[in-house]
Amino acid sequence: MVLFLDSSSTVSYLSPILLEFQDLTVITNGIHIAAALNTASNIRCYICPGLLKQKSLSILGEYSTEFLAQFHADAAFFSVKALRKNGVFEGDDSQALCKRAMLRNAEQRILLSDHSKEEAVGYFKLCDYTEINEIVSDAPFHPDLTEQIERSGCRILFPGAKKAR
């Protein structure tokens, strides 16, 4: 199996789970994700070239997007800054462009989010909900947003959610 993992802190929570998988290839632009997976002999990890963004330890830029375009993955796991009725948004255009390259080249696109992203601020549109297969969140979203997402054909999962709003 081949996976794209973006550099977000949300997606980094997958790293310990992925250590249990056999014969896995991961392509990431996150230094912290690559470092966490580096200990496993059963995982082959590719890391993007490009410009290091110090705070997030993301590798971004034109070299990264060109690198990602060379791969095809079974799934892309990503997170965003904001979930709005008209799509998902990033707060940084270079992050969004890197994530778009992953989404373009993945069979399944899985957004990992928490309810705080709902109606948060993000100025750069990453994609529409029609381009996402599943959203995994810690809690249900507002009913209006849930309806909009489900109408687009995107499935929403709330593993471990305690109660609806």
Domain coordinates in residue numbering, the chain = 2-157
Distance CA 30, CA 8 (A): 7
pLDDT confidence bin for 108, thresholds 50/70/90 = very high
Name the strand (E) or helix (H) holding 98: helix 93-104
pLDDT, one tens digit per residue, over 129-140 is 999 999 999 999
Which pLDDT value is given to residue 162?
Answer: 57
Which pLDDT value is given to residue 159?
Answer: 86
Q: If you ran DSSP here, which 8-state letter would residue 143 be given?
A: H
Closest CA to 118 of 160, 64, 81: 81
Q: Which CATH number fits domain 2-157: 3.90.245.10, 3.40.50.300, 3.40.50.1360, 3.50.50.60?
A: 3.40.50.1360
Supply the pTM of this predicted model.
0.94
